[in-house]
Amino acid sequence: MSSPRSDFLSGVRVAAPITLGVFPFGMIAGVAAVGVGIPAVQTLAMSVVIFAGASQLAAIELIGRNAPAAVVVLTVLVINLRHVMYSASLAPHFRRQSARWKGLLAYLLVDQVYALSILEFENDEETSRRWYYLGVATPLWLTWQTATVVGIIFGARTPEGWHLEFAVPLVFLAVLVPAVTDRATAAAALVGGAVAVVAAGLPYNLGLIVAAVVGIGAGLAVERATGVSTDGAAGEAE
Amino acid sequence: MAPTTFDDATLWVVILAAGVVTYALRLSFIALFGRLDDVPESVERALRFVPAAVLSALVVPQLVVADGAVSLSPTNPRLLAGALAAAVAWRTENILATLVVGMGAMLLLSAALG
């Protein structure tokens, strides 16, 4: 039978291998931030306060280009919109938690925590929602913060010519490729990428946001045209 | 790259605002709509495309733009290294492997293309 302790530990066991992939990602966040001149304290604060890798890297890049502060925040908003989907998906499982627990669980809600937790919740009615989720989230949170600190230290000491800044698009690429699962997501990626190149000269560095919106539109258009969806949601929509 | 001109105060405001926005997105349904099992269908369908569109918009300009102009030539090391890394990402779906191969290719190619 499950107990809080055993549920927490089985969460930790599932998350452990994932931390290996999270570490380099967090390190890059530290290296990149130091590279554009963000002080160490603020770099670590980003990892603690925002705690969302892709959006942190995008924010760092825009800060490096001196985009307006509002555009930086708006970009973080767009990139993290997917968290609404995770929040909705987990909501029924957390319905009986207190407001305080809901507040803590929501703070820790990142891609990997969502993916691992929902899998377990859908397979096992008995597992403690709170403790399993905390078991998954705790090692990932600790890894992310540690990796950022290592990146800050490392980034301050690496010579030019190592092309460390190139690690940022590579990390995005590593996350992007698995996100392309069908024709509609491929269209969103192709159009989003192309528009970003064309719109690079837009004022206030708004190119990224315009590209994202047009790319999402392209994905929806292709989905409607082909009538295919990975989860069959399109068929029952209208 | 020249260091950013953001001062400390602006950076703190940006970090806090971005943190609050991100937290609000995560808390949204968990806190407010806990009784609903579902997001509106249209919202869910649009959100499905956010990662692909946004990540691609972040990556592509960094690979194809060199010195302020679009460069699709084989002398652009970022393009070649990026293509190789994409192939690794596709085969392995592993961030570390993608990073190692992409960075290695970038170092070799930029040395070779001088």
Cβ contact, residue pair B51, A82, below 8 Å: yes
Q: How far is CA A12 from CA A6, A20, B32, in A?
A: 10, 13, 29
Instruction: Please write the tens of the pLDDT for every residue from A107-140.
Output: 999 988 998 999 899 889 899 999 999 999 999 9
Q: What is the reported pTM? A: 0.85
pLDDT at A228: 56
Q: Is A126 on the interface with B (CB under 8 A)?
A: no
Cα separation, B21 vs A200, in Å, equals: 25
What ipTM does the predicted assembly reach? 0.87
pLDDT at B45: 85
Q: Which residues pair with B65 in a beta bridge?
A: B70
Instruction: Please write the tens of the pLDDT for every residue from A59-88.
Output: 999 999 999 999 999 999 999 998 988 898
Sign of CA dihedral B79, B80, B85, B86: positive
Mean pLDDT of A175-180: 90
Task: Measure CB to CB from residue A169 to each of B25, B63, B90 and give the nearest one.
Answer: B63
In degrees to the nearest 10, what's the CA dihedral of A8, A11, A17, A21?
Answer: -100
Instruction: Please write the tens of the pLDDT for every residue from B21-31.
Output: 999 999 999 99
DSSP-derived 3-state class of residue B53: helix
Q: How far is CA A112 from CA A4, A33, A65, A90, A144, in A?
A: 21, 23, 30, 13, 12
CA nearest to A184, candidates B89, B61, B45: B45
B85: its two tokens:
């890394």
Sign of CA dihedral A137, A139, A145, A147: negative
- 3-state per-residue secondary structure call for A174-198: HHHHHHCCCHHHHHHHHHHHHHHHH
Among A145-154, A196-205, B84-93, whose mean pLDDT is lowest?
A: A196-205
CA nearest to B4, candidates A64, A174, A176: A64
Average pLDDT, chain A: 90
Instruction: Please write the tens of the pLDDT for every residue from A228-238.
Output: 555 544 443 33
Phi, psi of A17 (to 5 degrees): -65, -30
Instruction: Please write the tens of the pLDDT for every residue from B6-24.
Output: 999 999 999 999 999 999 9
The residue type of A171 is: V
Q: How confident is the model at residue B33 (pLDDT cuts 50, 70, 90)?
A: low
A213: its two tokens:
């919106």
A42 to chain B: which residues are within 8 Å by CB?
A: 8, 11-12, 15
Looking at A91-166, list the stretches that DSSP marks H as alpha helix, in order from N- to C-terminal side: 99-107, 111-123, 129-155
Structural contact between residues B52 and A180, judged by C-beta atoms closer than 8 angstroms: yes
Q: Is A206 on the interface with B (CB under 8 A)?
A: no
Proportion of chain B above pLDDT 90, given as a percent: 58
Proportion of chain A above pLDDT 70, given as a percent: 95
Cβ contact, residue pair A180, B52, below 8 Å: yes
pLDDT at B35: 54
pLDDT at B1: 57
Cβ contact, residue pair A173, B94, below 8 Å: no
A37 to chain B: which residues are within 8 Å by CB?
A: 3-4
Instruction: Please write the tens of the pLDDT for every residue from A152-169.
Output: 999 888 777 778 888 889
Cβ contact, residue pair A51, B22, below 8 Å: yes
A residues 30-59 near B, CB within 8 Å?
A: 35-39, 42, 45-46, 49-52, 54-55, 57-59
CA nearest to A199, candidates A216, A188, A189, A214: A214
